[in-house]
Amino acid sequence: MNIPHHVAGHTLILLRNGEDYFPRLIEAIDKASSFVYLESYIFAADEAGRSVTDALKRAASRGVRVHLLLDGYGSLELPVAWEQELVQAGILVLWFRRQLGWLSLQRSQLRRLHRKLVVIDDMQAFLGGVNIVKDHPDGIPSPRLDYMVLVEGVIVRRIHLAMQRLWKLVAWINLRQRGSHEKIRLPARQPDAAVQFLMRDNFRHRRDIEHAYLQAIESAQQEILIANAYFLPGRRFRKALLERARAGVRVILLLQGRVEYRLQHYATLALYDELLKSGIEIHEYLASYLHAKVAVIDGKWSTVGSSNIDPFSLWLAREANIVVRDAGFAADLREDLMQQIAQHARRIVSPDWRKWNVFSWAGSKCSYLLMRLLTGLIGRERGRDDI
> pLDDT digit string (tens) for 71-94?
999 999 999 999 999 999 999 999
Full residue range of the structural domain in which residue 278 is found: 195-380
In single-letter form, the type of residue at position 302 comes to S
- Catalytic annotation on 298? yes
In a domain, 271, yes or no: yes
Domain boundary among 107, 140, 173: 173
Asked whether residue 22 falls in the same domain as residue 140, the answer is yes
The CATH number linked to 102 is 3.30.870.10
In a domain, 190, yes or no: no
Handedness of CA 47, 128, 310, 109 (dihedral sign): positive
- Catalytic annotation on 114? yes
Asked whether residue 209 falls in the same domain as residue 322, the answer is yes
Of 5, 10, 67, 114, which residue is the catalytic one?
A: 114
Asked whether residue 88 falls in the same domain as residue 149, the answer is yes
Asked whether residue 165 falls in the same domain as residue 255, the answer is no
Asked whether residue 157 falls in the same domain as residue 20, the answer is yes
In a domain, 387, yes or no: no
In a domain, 188, yes or no: no
* CA dist., res. 210 & res. 368, Å (int): 21
**Which parts of the chain register pLDDT below 50?**
102-105, 380-386
Asked whether residue 128 falls in the same domain as residue 207, the answer is no
Supply the Cα-derived Rg of the chain in whole angstroms. Answer: 20
- Catalytic annotation on 211? no
> How many structural domains is the chain composed of?
2
Asked whether residue 244 falls in the same domain as residue 376, the answer is yes
Asked whether residue 262 falls in the same domain as residue 365, the answer is yes
In a domain, 322, yes or no: yes
- List the Cα angle 165/169/170 in 5-degree steps: 120
In a domain, 109, yes or no: yes
Asked whether residue 219 falls in the same domain as residue 346, the answer is yes
Sheet of strand 10-16: strand arrangement: 5-7, 10-16, 147-152, 124-128, 117-120, 35-40, 65-71, 92-96
In a domain, 180, yes or no: no
Distances (CA, A) of 269 to 125, 244, 337, 353, 364: 36, 21, 21, 9, 6
Of 293, 310, 336, 344, which residue is the catalytic one?
A: 293
Give residue 380's pLDDT: 45
Give residue 202's pLDDT: 77
- Catalytic annotation on 293? yes
Asked whether residue 161 falls in the same domain as residue 202, the answer is no
In a domain, 372, yes or no: yes
Of 67, 116, 265, 283, which residue is the catalytic one?
A: 116
- Catalytic annotation on 291? yes
Asked whether residue 206 falls in the same domain as residue 156, the answer is no
- Catalytic annotation on 385? no
* CA dist., res. 182 & res. 34, Å (int): 10
Give residue 167's pLDDT: 95
Of 201, 291, 310, 344, which residue is the catalytic one?
A: 291
Asked whether residue 200 falls in the same domain as residue 316, the answer is yes
Handedness of CA 114, 119, 122, 126 (dihedral sign): negative
